[in-house]
């Protein structure tokens, strides 16, 4: 079968490997669509994993939608022909972290995956991914493109739940890419009073406005002063950082007000530290927090929102490429300015 092997952002090659063989507790998925995640182009992140594994390439892709085409005799709850999304990481539900609600800190979650990755024609789903609630069968109203967006929305659902995003808040979102737009959509659905979005790209700011942002600000401007004027001298209730740019992280730290929460959905690369004016934060009960990934409770929420048409996610998909043009797709994601969600469509030629 054909796969896309990632060596670096400018070297993603189509190669042939053997199609996976399943055992009686597993099933095989024929991939129909596979999204490129922003984490797929974080070279420092990918190179660290290659070094850890002792390899010079990876088969990436975890935002998948496809069909079950082979199924083991011991798998009873699914059938051939089911259209599915499968989570590449699953928690154990039994460890200390899972019991505390920190499923994405679970050791098992950090050490599960499917075989090989979503940028391949077929994927073997291990039994652990099945047993630990990692499989979602699409209902009739869900498309494959909806399915590709299930995991990205689930990550956003988790983040906003942890940050207690709620009705009536003023929210600042730094970064207007895919995750920023998903945060915008979910916050508006939850009844946010005002959503302010920033980016260095005028194209992305226009997209944010199209999707419902109340205010847009170029990130190169004095965001703090502009927001004070927009919001009657009151700073945002919640600040969501959706870009790894250091300037955005520092802007978030500056734009807090009394009772603000800063949620780092994206973070600067390793080795970069932030100067936090902790004394000022102490007096104003400012919360700084992070969110990573998604777990079954978050996927459940995202599935309900998508399947019941409460949030339209497929309209964020801006570009589609066949597998044999995967390098062009990665180039598009790296360029960023002219795209939102880029997917590999295995039905395209």
pLDDT given for residue 62 in this prediction: 97
| Per-position pLDDT tens, the chain of length 349 | 999 999 999 999 999 999 999 999 999 999 999 999 999 999 999 999 999 999 999 999 999 999 999 999 999 999 999 999 999 999 999 999 999 999 999 999 999 999 999 999 999 999 999 999 999 999 999 999 999 999 999 999 999 999 999 999 999 999 999 999 999 999 999 999 999 999 999 999 999 999 999 999 999 999 999 998 887 778 999 999 999 999 999 999 999 999 999 999 999 999 999 999 999 999 999 999 999 999 999 999 999 999 999 999 999 999 999 999 999 999 999 988 889 999 999 999 8
pTM recorded for the entire structure? 0.96
For helices 150-162 and 296-307, what crossing angle results, to 10°? 120
Domain ranges, ordered by start, for the chain: 2-154+294-345, 164-290
Reported as a single tens digit per residue, the pLDDT across 173-216 is 999 999 999 999 999 999 999 999 999 999 999 999 999 999 99
Contact between 145 and 65 (Cβ < 8 Å) = yes
CA 260 – CA 289 distance, rounded (Å): 11
How far is C-alpha 244 from the geometric centre of its chain's CA atoms? 14
Give 116-140 pLDDT, tens digit per residue: 999 999 999 999 999 999 999 999 9
Dihedral sign, CA of 324, 59, 299, 70?
A: positive
pLDDT at 163: 97
The topology under which CATH files domain 164-290 is: Rossmann fold (3.40.50)
Looking up tokens 């945060």 gives 183
Confidence at residue 180, expressed as pLDDT on a 0 to 100 scale? 98
* pLDDT at res. 336: 83
Q: What is the CATH number of domain 2-154+294-345?
A: 3.90.180.10
């Amino acid at each position: 079968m054909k796969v896309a092997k990632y060596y670096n952002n400018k070297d993603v090659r189509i190669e042939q490997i053997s199609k996976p063989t399943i055992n009686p507790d597993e099933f095989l998925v024929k991939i129909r669509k596979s999204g490129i995640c922003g984490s797929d182009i974080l070279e420092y992140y990918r190179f660290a994993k290659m070094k850890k594994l002792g390899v010079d390439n990876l088969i990436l892709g975890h935002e998948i939608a496809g069909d079950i085409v082979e199924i083991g005799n011991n798998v009873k709850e699914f059938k051939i022909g089911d259209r599915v999304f499968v989570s590449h990481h699953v928690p154990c539900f039994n460890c200390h972290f899972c019991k505390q609600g920190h499923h994405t800190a679970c050791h098992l979650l950090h050490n599960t995956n499917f075989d090989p990755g979503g940028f391949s024609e077929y994927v073997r789903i291990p039994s652990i991914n099945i047993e630990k609630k990692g499989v979602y069968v699409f209902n009739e109203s869900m498309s494959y493109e909806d399915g590709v967006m299930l995991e990205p929305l689930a990550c956003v659902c988790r983040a906003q739940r942890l940050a207690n995003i709620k009705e009536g808040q003023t929210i600042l979102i730094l970064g207007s890419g895919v995750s920023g737009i998903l945060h915008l959509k979910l916050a508006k659905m939850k009844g946010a009073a005002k959503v302010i979005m920033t980016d260095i790209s005028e194209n992305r700011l226009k997209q944010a406005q199209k999707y419902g942002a109340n205010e847009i600000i170029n990130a190169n401007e004095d965001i703090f002063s502009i927001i004070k004027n927009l919001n009657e001298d009151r700073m945002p209730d919640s600040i969501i950082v959706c870009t790894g740019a250091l300037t955005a992280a520092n802007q978030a730290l500056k734009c807090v007000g009394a009772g603000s929460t800063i949620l780092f959905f994206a973070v600067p690369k390793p080795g970069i530290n932030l100067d936090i004016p902790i004394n000022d934060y102490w007096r104003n009960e400012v919360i700084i927090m992070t969110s990573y990934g998604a777990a079954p409770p978050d996927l459940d929420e995202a599935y309900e929102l998508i399947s019941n048409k409460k949030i339209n996610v497929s309209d964020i998909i801006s570009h589609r490429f066949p597998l044999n043009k995967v390098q062009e797709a990665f180039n598009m994601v790296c360029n960023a300015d002219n795209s939102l969600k880029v997917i590999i469509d295995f039905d395209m030629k």
